[in-house]
Structure 1
Amino acid sequence: MPSFTFLKSPRRESEPMEGEDSGANLGNDNKETKDVVQKRSSKREFFRSLLKRSSLSSETRAERRRSGQFSPSPSLPIPSPKSPPTSPMDKPLPPPPPPGSEPEPAPSAAKNPVKLDRIISPLSQADLFKIFSGAPQFFARSEGHHTGAPHPSVAFPWDSELHIRDLCDHVRIQDEAWACVTAWPHITLQVSKNPEAKKEQCERHRAHFLPRCRERPNMLSMQGTERGTVGYQAALEIGVADALEIPEGGTPDEISAHRKKFLNGKDGLRPVTDSTLIDQLIAVSEVYQEDPLKHRRPTLQMYTELFTQILFPPSRVTDSDDPYSLQVQVESLVQVLAAPLIWVDFSLVEWRIRLGHILWGSSSDVLPEDEITVNDEVVHEPGTQKYWLLLQILLSCELLVRLDMISANIDHGLAAVKPAEIRRFEQHATTNVKWSMLLARTWLESIRIEKIDSKDETATAEKKPAGWLATLTGTAGAQTTINQGLNNVQFHGRRQAQQLAGLVHFAQKLGWPDLDSLKAKVTANTISITDSVASTPAAGTPLTMATGRSSSYFANSRPRIKRGLSSHKNVSAVIHPSGWLSNSYVSGLILPGEGLSHFLISTLLENDDAAVARLGVEANLYGGFIYGDKSFWSTACIIGRVLAAGKGASECMGWVSSDVQPRGAGEEWVNIDVKPAPRDDSTKKSSKPRLWHKTAIEHDGSVLGGADMSSVLPGDFILPLETSHPASLSITFNSLDLFLSAESVHSDSLDVPSPLDDDMSEMPKIQTYSAMMRFISVAEGEEKKEINVSLTHDVYFVTAHPCIPSPHAEVLKTPTSPSFRAQSPTSISSSPKFLGHPLHKAFTFTKLPLLTLLSLPATTPFSTLLSPPPPTSQSYLLDSTTHTTSSTIPKVLVIDCTDGSMIHFPMRTGVGGSETSSLGSVAGSLQGGGEKADRGRGKRGSDLEMLARAVCAERGWNALVSRRGRGCLACAVREAGALGWRVVLRIA
C-alpha cells in the first residue's frame, strides 16, 4: 500500500507528541528545526537560480514559457526516478544537498549581462591616445592682442616621448652666421654640437626682453626637409607675408615736415647733434656689453642721462610712487618711437634689406627739406637718411637696455611688473616699435663704432665702388655730394670671422665652382667692411620675394610689378665689388627675413671676379643664373623648386644648385615668366588668407575630422593601404628648355620712367624666358614616350610632417569595421601594407598613379580626376575612398609617384621593434643628426619626383610631398586638409 505521509502537515509534524520523553523530544525538535532551515535555504537558492536565467537566450525562455515548466537549476541536484510522486498542486522542494557540496558562487562577471560582439561602444579617450600616438596635429592659435595673424604650429599633444615631440618638417639652421635669419628662438646645429659655443650663447642670451614680433613667413620653416619645399608654418604664412604689407606713409614732403616739427618741438625728442648721437651710441653699446650684474647703474642716473641728453622730461607724472622709475623711462621712449611719419618702418621687408644701403651706400636719395639747424650747427644734412636711422637705433637701444634691466629684475625676484603696465606697453608699442627693438638687439650684438681722425676724412670721402645690387633702374656711376656730417666714424662687425666662415659654408653647400679662391681670400683676411660712398640710389634695393609695391620713401623710382604675389620678375641690380650688401653680411647687421639669402649670394659674387666677368654686372635675385657646369636658382623661382627634387641638387639658405644646364641660354642671369597659382574652390569663398580661418584649419586637420571625441566608433576609421603601381615605370629627365618670352621685348613698358634710365641704356637687359621640361617615359609593355611639361604656374611644395606609426592600431579591429574585415586575420601591426595611422571617415581621397594622370589631358577638370571612370586596363589602377560622408572637408588627390620596382621599399625597425617604417632613424637624424642627415638629403632625388613637381607647376597645384618611410598617407591627407590644399605627392 502506498504511503500517504506526504499529506501530513509540516506544522503538525513539528508539534511534540504526548507521552514522549522530553529529552527525546528536544533532540527530535532540534533535528526537525535544522531540516526546516535547510529547506527554506534551498527555496531561496531555487528562486535565485530563476533570476540567473535572465541571461539565457530569449528563444530558450520562450520555449519554457510555452511548456509551463521550469527545469531545475543546474546548481541543484536533479531528483532521481525513485523519488516519491508529487502532487501538481503542492510540489515539494527537492532535498537539500549534503553539507559541503554547495557550489561556489559564480564570478561577478557572470552576474552582468554578456556584451555581445555586435554591440560596439565608443572608443575611450585612452584608446584614441594610443591609436594616434606619434600622429602630428595641426593648429593655428593667436598669440594675443596686437600680434597680427594667428601662429600656425604642429604638435604631438598626446605624446611625451622626446623622439616624437622633436619631429619636424624643416631643416634646422646649420651655421651660427645664419642665425639672424629669424626672430624665433632656436638652437643651431653648430651650437648644439659645440659645448663651448652653447655656453657662450647662454651667457649672451641672459634674461632679456623678447618683443612679440616675428618675421612672416617663419624663416625657420622656409627650407623643408624635402629640397625645394617649405614647412607647414611657412606654407600658411605665405598668404600673410610681411612683403604683402601695404606701407602707410606720406609723401617725402610730409615726412620732412613731420621731422622738422618733431625736432623743433619742446615735448619728446631733443635736437641731437651728430657728435652727441655718435657718443651716445658708443656709450649704450658699452653698457650693453658689460655684465649688468656687476655694473648695475642706479635708476636715477639712467633717468638723468636720458632726459638731459636725448629726451625732454615728461610733462606729467605717470608713476606717483617712483617718478624716476624704469617704467616711466620706457613709456617715454615708446611714445617717441611710435610717432608716425618719422622713423623707418622695418616691418616692411624692403627697408630691412636697405638697412645696409643707408649706412654704407650713397646719399643720393635727397630730401632737400630735411636740412635742420640747431644753434647754427647742422643737425640733419640734406641727402641722407643716415642721421635718422642712427637716431632711431639710439632710441631703440636705450629702450632695449631698460627693458632688459626690468627682465633681469623679474628673473632675480627684485621687482614685479604690474598687469596694467604690460597692457599699456602692448597697446602703445606698435609693430614698428617692436621691429626697432629687433634692430637694436642686432646692432648691439654685431656693430662696433670707431671714430677716425679728421685728417683721415679725405680718405673717407674718396669715391669707391657702389657695390653690386647698386640699382634697379639707375646707375652706380653718378657723382654726388658726400655728406661729411657722420663720415668721421666707421662701423665694424664684432663677428666678422664667424660671418666669413658662414660664407664659405654656403659656397660649399652649393658646390661653388671657384671655392678654392674664396677660401684663399678668407684665409688672407682680404674680405672686410669697406665704406662704399659712391652713388647707390634708393632704387638699388632689390624688391622682396612677394611684392612689387614701393613705400613712399622710394617715390617713383621703383618698377611696377603687375602680378602681385608672383612678382619676382624684372628685378635687376648692378654688380660691383665691395658693395653695401657685402658690408651688411660681413658686419652681421641683418634683420630677420629673406634678406640673408640676398646678402649671401651677393657677397659670394662680389668676391668672385671671374663670375662677375662671365655673368655681367646686372643680376636678378629672384630668378637664376648659369655659371660653370652648374645652374643656380633662387627658391623664389619655380625652376629652383622643381630641379631641387633631382639627383645632384643641393639647397642652402634660399638657393638651389643643380647639375642641369638649361638649353636656350648661356652663362647669364635669367628671369622666368610664371603665373600665380589659381585659388582653390575652398578659398575662393573668402577674401582672407587661409591662416585667418583658424577654426577651419584645426577642424579640417583634426585626427577625428572634427567629430566629438565621446562618440567616435571603431568603424569610423579607414586604413589607407600602401599599394604601388603594379607595372614598372621608368622616367628619365631629358632637358630643361628656355624659350625667350615676348615680354622681354616689351619689358620697358613695366618700368616707370626715371632720370636714371638713360644711364642704364647701355647695359644689357636680363631676358625673360618661359620654361619647359622634357622627360622620357618607358612603361612596362609600352613604347618609349616623350613627356613635355611647361612650368607655367608659381606653385609651392610642402614637406609632409613626419610621424611615427602607433603599435596600437589593433584597438580598431572589430567585426563591424569594413576596413578591418578586408584585412587578413593576422595582426594589423604586422601587415606590410599598413604603415601608419588610421584616417577618419570625414576625409576622402582618390589615389591615382602618375602614369594614369599623364595619360589624361592637362585640361582635365580637377573634379573629374577626383572621380575618374573605372580603369580600362590593369595598368590604370586607382584607389579611392568609396564611403559617403557629410563632411565639408574637400576631397584630396593623391598622386602615387612610385612604380613596381619600389613596392619592396626597404623598411627599418620602427617603434616597438615592429618592422613598420624607417622613422626611427629619421627621428634620430631630425633631432640633431646634422651633417649626416644633410648628406643623406644630397644623395636623394629622382627624375620621377621632378616630373611630379613639374606636372603640378603646369596645372597650378600646390602640393604636399609625402615620403614613404617618413610619414604615413593618413597624416598627409589630414595636413592637406589643414592647409586647404588638394594634392599630395606620395613618393618612395
Structure 2
Amino acid sequence: MAFFFGRRHSISSDTPVEGDGLPRSERGRRSSVPNIADHNNAAQTRGVIHDIFHKHRPDADTHFSSAAKAPGTVRGTATASSRTSGSAHPQDEKTGAHARHDSGVHESMEEHRSEKVTRSHKPHHHEQSPSPQNQLTKKDVETIFSGAPYFLLEKGKHGLWYPQIIFPFDDHDPTIQCLGDRRPLPHASYTLCTLHAHLPVPDDWVVEGELPVHLGSWKRTEAPKRATFDVGVLEVPNMLSINGKDPGTVGFRHFLELPVADAAVYVAPERARPCSDMLHISSLPATQAYELMGHYNDPYALCSDGTIHDRKQMLCEGPVAWKRIGVRDVDLRTLVERLQTLKDLRYEILHGDMPRTILDMEGTRELHSGLFSRFLYPPVRFLLMDAHDPHSLKAQIRALTVVLATPGAWLDFGLIDWRLHIGQLLWENPPHVDGDFLDPSKSDKAWVHATLERKWLLVQMVLAAELLLRLDATVRVGMLQNSRDIDVSVRDVYDFDRLRSGKLNWDLVTVRRLMDSFNFTYSSVDPGARPQMPSLPGKHEDRHHRRSFLETFTHHRSSTSPTNHNECAWRCHLVPSHVDQQLKGLFVFADNLGWPRLQQFKNALRSTLEGEGSVERIREAFATPIRNPLPAGYTAQELRKEMYNRSPSRRLLLLRPRDSTDPLDVGGWITRTWLAGFVIPGESISHLLMATMLENDADAMATLGPVINLYGGFAYNGKTWWSKKSIVGRVLASQEGTKVCLAWLGSSVLPKDSQTAQPLDNTWFEVDVREPPRRPGKPRIKHGNRLSFESTPLGLGDMTSGAFLMPVDGPTESWSKLGINFEDLAFTIDGERRQPEDNHLTVAQKACVNFTLTSDAFEPKTVSFSLTYNVRFVSSHECRPPGGLISYHHTMGANESGRSSSTSSYVSHRHHRLPGHPLHRSYAYRWVPLESLTENPSPTDGNSSGFTKDEILVLDARNSHDKETYARAWCSSVGYHAIIGKVGRTCLACCIREARALQVEAVIRIGDGFLTPASSIQVLYGGE
C-alpha cells in the first residue's frame, strides 16, 4: 500500500496533468465518479461495493432479535463471512442500551503493529480466508476512497511535526482539494494572527456568520510582490484553524498542536544566574580566577558563557553592563533614522519592481562600519573564528545572532505574554501597575530614566532588523545568485539556523511586524505628557547595600557624565500606516459578536479616526504617552503576577477607559496596538480585539470595570460573551443564535447563582476547570507516522470487501423519541474567593448545565452536568463520498424501520453519491443513546463505565441544538474531547477515523436528518 501513504501527487508519473482532456474511462483517480465505462474494472468495483452493502437476512434478523432480548449492553459483531454490519445503525433507544460496533476487534491492538496494512487481520471470531475475487485492488481503493481525507503528520526541522490533511486520490480535483474544517478569516486585518501560508484576503472581504458579504472586488492592496527571508518559525497552535466549521470548535491542526503550544513550551523567563565559573570562583586556581575577573567587563564577555541575565537589573547597571553583551550606549536619533532606513529598504525588497537587497544600498564594509561603530562593539576573536574576512557578512550575522540570543537580556517574544504586552512599552508611561516591567522609581542611577525600557526595546528591534536584512541578502545573493563577493556555504546557513534560538526567531517576526506597521520619526521636543522623572538619590539611601567582593571587583563608575542613555525615548514617534483597515476589522468583530449599541460605538471612534484632520490627530495621539492608574480593589503586586499566569480559566488584563472629552484620546495602549496593526502572531489578536472594543465603550467600562479576564467571560446588558478558552463558552456555543468571531462567542444564555437562583449580570466570570486526563506517553503530535497508520481509510487488517462496513446515520424520527430541553446554566460561587464589588469579577467554583429529558418510556426528569474538564471540540473535516448507484433488494425487518435502505430510495437520482465512505472493521465504535449517559460513571474514574480503550463513542445529537449542548456538557463532565461531525459535511466513517487520528474519545453527530456529504461547490462531471 505504499501508493497510498504520504502521497500528495499522482500515483503514475506519466499521468497527464490536465485530466479533463482525457476520456472518462481513462481518468482513473482524477475523478470522484467510478469508472463505469470500463466494463472489467466497473464490474469488479460494483462487486466490491455490493459486498460492502451485502446483507444476509437470516443473520441480520437473528442479530436484531437477540439484541432486543439482551438486558444489558448490546454488542453487534461484523465479520467478513456474515457481513451483518454492512450498514451500521444505532440500536433502538427504547432498550436504553448501548449499540456497539467493534467490527470484530475485541482485543486491544498493539502499540507498534506492522506498517504493512495489507497484512491479514485476524478477527476474534473464526472465519474462512477471503476469496481472491474479494481482494481490493488499487483501482478499487482509488474509487471507493475518493474524497476521503487522509490524516498525517509531516516532519519538519528540529524534530517538529506539522499536521496535514490531504486527499491522495483526488490530486487534480479542486472541489475536493478545497474541502476544509475551518471558517474563513472574516476580515483582511485578521491575517495578522498567523505565519502560516494562506491565500490573500481581499480588501473588501467581510464574513458575517459563514458567508462573505459586501465583496466589491478581489483586490488586495499592498500585497508583496516577492518573498523575503523565511524565518522558519510558526505560531503554535495554528491560528488559521482557531475557528472550526461549528461554533465553539477548532480545526484538526489547532487541536493537535495544543499540547506543544507556545504557551506550554514558553512558560516564563528563565531565572537569572551567573555562569558556573562565577558560582565556583572561590575554588578556581588564582590565575584562572584573575583572568576570569579581568575579562569580566570586556565586550561580549557575558553573551555565551552560560550567564542568564536579569533584564531589569542589567538595565539598571547601565552602559558597563550593556558592554558585557556587546551593546553600545546608542544615540536615539541614530537609532530612529536607521529603523526608518531599514523599513524603507524592506518595502523596496517586497514591493519594488526590481529585486533588491541591503547590499544594493551599502557594501559589506559599510555595513560592518555602521553596525560596529553605532550599535555594537567591534567583534572579538570568538566571533571571527569561522570568518576569513573580519568585515564579511558572515561575521556580522554571527555577532548579531550571539548578541540577540544572550539569555535574559532582551524581551522574549516566544512568550505569549510579551506578544500581548509589547504595546504597553511603546505607549504607556511608567511605572506600570501591571506586567513584568522595570520600575525606574526604585533606582537612583543617572541612566535609569522613565523611558529606558522603551529605548531598550527599540535597540532590540534595530538589531533584529539589521540581522533580518543581512540574512535575506545572504540567501538571495550568496546562495541563489552564487556571488563571489559573499562567501556563504550551505554549512554556514545551517550554522546560522543552529544559532537562532526560538527567542531570536521571534525577534525577527516581531521586527517584521514593526516595520510593516509604522513609520519612524525623531522629534527633538519631548511630548506634552512628560515622563515621570526619577526620585532624588536621598530617597533611596535606605535601599543601598554593601556590595559583595565580586560586585566591588567588577563595579565601575563612569568617569564622564552620561550622554546618550538619559535621552527621552518618547522622542521616537511611531506613526501607524493601516488605521483604516484595522478600524474596519474592529467593526467586523463587534458586528459578528452582536455588540449592543453598535452604531453609537462606531460613530464615537469614527469621529476621532476618520474625517478631516484625522491623519494629524492620529499622529499626535500615537506620539503622546498615556498613564493608567491602579484601579480600586486591586494591588500592583496582584496584577503584576498575572503576566506569566498559565491558569486555564484566568488571565487578567488592565484596560484604560477612553476619555471622550479629549479629542486626541483613542483609548489605552491596547487600542493603539490594534489600530496600528502591530499584532504578533498567536492568540493575542482575539485579546486585543475584545479589549479594544471594551476600552472604547464608555458604558461597558463603567459597568464592568477596567480589569478583564481574557480566559473567562462576562455578562453585560442581559447577554454573555465568552472566550473560547473557557469551557463554558465552548459548551454554550452549540445553542441556537450563538455568534462567533475568532476566539470569542456571544450568547443569550445568562448564568444564575445556584444558591439564590438570581441571574448574574454585568460582571466578569472566572470558572474553575481542570485539564482532562492525558494518555500516557508523548502527545499525539509527536507520534509521527503512527497517526496516519492508525487512521488510514484502508484500516489495519484485511484488504477485502468483507473487511469494510458502511456506517450511516439512520432517520432520527424512527428510533429516537427522546426530547431534551436546555434549562439553564448555574454557577456555584466560591465564597472564600468572593471579590469586592469594585472588582466586578465573579469566581465560580463549579458550573452546571441543567436539562429536562422527556420520553414515552419514562417520566420527565432533570439532568445536570458539571463542566469539570477543559475539553475541546474539533470540527470534522469535510469529505465527499464517491459517486455511484448502489441498489439491493430485500425485505426490511421489523426492527430496521427503513434504516438499511438509505441508498435505494435515491436510485432514480442521476448523480447520486454513496451515503458515506466504507469503514474498516478494525475501527471499533459504539452508538450511545443520550439518555443512557447519566447512567454511567465518569470514564476517568475507572473502567466501570463499560467503555473499552480505543473505542469511539458516537452520540447522536441531530435535529436539536439542545441535544448537542447536552452531549458537549457530558463530554466536559467526564473529560472526553469530541469530534463535532455534521451530517451533510462529513460521513460517519471519516468522523470515526479522524477521532482515531486525534485520539479523541467521542463523535457528536449534529445537523438535520439524513444527508449525504457533498462538496459545497457543485460540479457536473464528464460534461453532463
TM-score by length of 1: 0.69
Q: Which of 336, 360, 382 pairs up with 1:278?
A: 336
Q: Distance in 2 between matches of 1:410 and 1:829?
A: 64
User: What is the match of residue 113 of structure 1?
Assistant: none
Q: Distance in 2 between matches of 1:412 and 1:419?
A: 11
Provide Cα deviations, 1:370-422, integer angstroms capped at 9, x if missing partner: 9899xxxx766467421221111111111122233345548974659632122
Residue 222 (structure 1) aligned with residue 287 (structure 2): no
RMSD over aligned Cα atoms: 4.0
Residue 466 of structure 1 corresponds to none
Alpha carbons of structure 1 residues 320 and 385: separation in structure 2 relative to 1, 3 Å: closer
Cα drift, residue 198 of structure 1:
4.5
State the distance in 1 between where 2:405 and 2:450 align.
Answer: 24
Change (3 A) 1:765 1:965: closer
Partner SS, residue 784 of structure 1: strand
User: Are the equivalent residues in 2 in contact too, given 1:274–1:379 (CA < 8 A)?
Assistant: no
Evaluate the alpha carbon distance shift between residue 407 and residue 811 of structure 1 in structure 2; reply closer, same or farther with a 3 A threshold.
farther
Matched, 1:721 2:802: no
* Letter paired with 1:896: D
Please name the residue that 1:302 is paired with: 367
Listed as ranges, the matches of 1:255-654 within 5 Å are 255=311, 265=323, 268-290=326-348, 293=354, 296-300=360-364, 301-315=366-380, 324-364=391-431, 365-366=437-438, 381=449, 384-409=452-477, 413=481, 415=483, 418-454=489-525, 457-461=527-531, 485-526=568-609, 528=618, 529-530=621-622, 531-535=624-628, 557-558=640-641, 567-569=648-650, 571=652, 573=654, 575-577=656-658, 578-654=667-743
Contact preservation (8 Å) 1:229, 1:641: yes
State the partner residue of 2:298.
none
Do the aligned partners of residues 117 and 509 (structure 1) sit closer, same or farther apart at CA in structure 2, a change above 3 Å counting? closer
| Residue 210 of structure 1: how far off its partner (Å) | 1.9
Mapped partners of 1:535, 1:484: distance in 2:
23
Which residue is 2:46 aligned to?
Answer: none
The equivalent residue for 2:782 is: 692
Unaligned runs of 5+ in 2: 1-128, 206-214, 274-308, 432-436, 534-564, 611-617, 659-666, 754-758, 890-895, 1008-1024
**Displacement, 1:645?**
0.9
What is the distance in 1 between the residues matched to 2:197 and 2:138? 34
Kindly tell me: are residues 357 and 406 of structure 1, through their superposed partners in 2, closer, same or farther at Cα, counting changes over 3 Å?
A: same
What is the deviation of 1:168? Answer: 1.1
In the alignment, the residues of structure 1 paired with residue 343 and residue 804 of structure 2 have an alpha-carbon distance, to the nearest angstrom, of 61
Answer whether contact 1:961 1:986 (CA < 8 A) is retained: yes
1:952 maps onto 2:971 in alignment? yes
- The 1:896/1:436 distance shift into structure 2, 3 A limit, reads same
Aligned residue for 1:632, secondary structure, equals strand
- Answer whether contact 1:208 1:403 (CA < 8 A) is retained: no
Counterpart-to-counterpart distance in 2, 1:134 and 1:405 = 43
- In the alignment, residue 297 of structure 1 is paired with which amino acid? M
Tell me the CA shift for residue 712 of structure 1.
2.0
Deviation at 1:327, TM superposition (A): 3.8
Residues 1:795 and 2:871 are matched in the alignment? yes
1:262 to partner: Cα distance: 7.4
Residue deviations 1:486-514, cap 9 Å, x none?
12232221101111110011010011101
Contact 2:933–2:970 (8 Å) recurs in 1: no
Greater relative CO (CA pairs within 8 A, separation 6+) = 2
Match for 2:191 among 176, 179, 186?
A: 179
- Which residues in structure 2 correspond to 1:16-415 (within 5 Å)? 118-120=131-133, 122-145=135-158, 149-160=160-171, 161-191=173-203, 198=219, 200-202=221-223, 204=224, 206-244=226-264, 245-251=266-272, 254-255=310-311, 265=323, 268-290=326-348, 293=354, 296-300=360-364, 301-315=366-380, 324-364=391-431, 365-366=437-438, 381=449, 384-409=452-477, 413=481, 415=483
Distance 2:368 2:811 in 1: 72
| 1:524 Cα deviation after fit | 1.9
Determine the C-alpha separation between the residues in 1 that align with 2:727 and 2:422.
28
Structure 2 SS opposite 1:794: coil
Map Cα deviations across residues 577-623 of structure 1 (whole Å, 9 max, x no partner): 32111111111111111111111111101111111122233322211
Structure 1 residues 834 and 218, CA, compared in 2 at 3 Å: closer, same or farther? same
Mapped to 1, the partners of 2:875 and 2:690 lie a distance apart of 25
CA contact (8 A) 1:143 1:151 kept: yes
Q: How far apart are residue 809 of structure 1 and its match?
A: 9.6
- Amino acid in structure 1 at the alignment position of 2:657: H
Aligned residue number for residue 71 of structure 1: none
- Give the alignment partner of residue 962 of structure 1, picking from 961, 977, 981: 981
1:729/1:778 contact within 8 Å kept:
yes
Instruction: Tell me, in whole angstroms, the C-alpha distance in 1 between the residues paired with 2:259 and 2:905.
Output: 41
Percent identical:
29
TM-score by length of 2: 0.66
Q: Determine if contact 1:627/1:667 at 8 Å carries over to the other structure.
A: yes
Q: Distance in 2 between matches of 1:442 and 1:987?
A: 41
Partners of 1:571 and 1:833 in 2: CA distance: 51
**Does the aligned pair in 1 maintain the 2:590–2:598 contact within 8 Å?**
yes
**Which one-letter code corresponds to 1:135 in the other structure?**
A
How far apart are 1:236 and its partner, in Å?
A: 1.2
Match among 825, 845, 860 for residue 784 of structure 1: 860
Distance 1:862 1:185 in 2: 44
- What is the CA-CA distance between 1:824 and the residue it aligns to? 7.1
C-alpha change, 1:825 and 1:983, in structure 2 (3 Å) is closer
Distance 1:411 1:811 in 2: 62
Residues 765 and 843 in structure 2, CA contact (< 8 A), matched pair in contact too: yes
Q: Which amino acid aligns with 2:237?
A: P
| d(CA) in 2 for partners of 1:825, 1:459 | 74
Which amino acid letter does the alignment assign opposite residue 768 of structure 1?
A
Shift of 1:197: 6.7
2:923 maps to 843
CA contact (8 A) 1:570 1:766 kept: no
Q: Which residue of 2 aligns with 1:985?
A: 1004
Do the aligned partners of 2:938 and 2:945 also contact (CA within 8 Å) in 1? no
- Choose 1 or 2 for highest CA Rg: 1
- Shift of the alpha carbon at 1:306? 2.4
- Return 5+ residue gaps in structure 1 as ranges: 1-115, 464-481, 543-552, 748-759, 814-818, 869-888, 903-940
Moved more, 607-616 or 389-398: 607-616
In 1: Cα distance, 2:462 partner to 2:940 partner:
60
Give distance in 2, aligned partners of 1:560 and 1:409: 42
User: What is the alpha-carbon distance in structure 2 between the residues aligned to residue 192 and residue 388 of structure 1?
Assistant: 38
Q: Secondary structure at the match of 2:570?
A: coil
Contact 1:207 1:411 in 2 (8 A): no
Once residues 536 and 284 of structure 1 are traced to their aligned partners in structure 2, the CA distance between those partners, rounded to angstroms, is 36
Q: State the aligned residue count.
A: 747
- Tell me how far 1:651 sits from its aligned partner: 0.6
SS of aligned partner of 1:286: helix
Are the counterparts in 2 of residues 644 and 658 from structure 1 also a CA contact under 8 Å?
yes
**Whole-angstrom distance in 1 between the partners of 2:494 and 2:442:** 36
Structure 1 match to 2:850: 774
Deviations 1:63-115 (A, max 9, x none): xxxxxxxxxxxxxxxxxxxxxxxxxxxxxxxxxxxxxxxxxxxxxxxxxxxxx
Whether contact under 8 Å (1:174, 1:188) holds in the other structure is: no
Task: Name the counterpart of 1:548.
Answer: none
Q: Alpha carbons of 1:422 and 1:705: their partners in 2 closer, same or farther (altered >3 Å)?
A: farther
List aligned pairs for 1:897-912, cutoff 5 A: 897-898=957-958
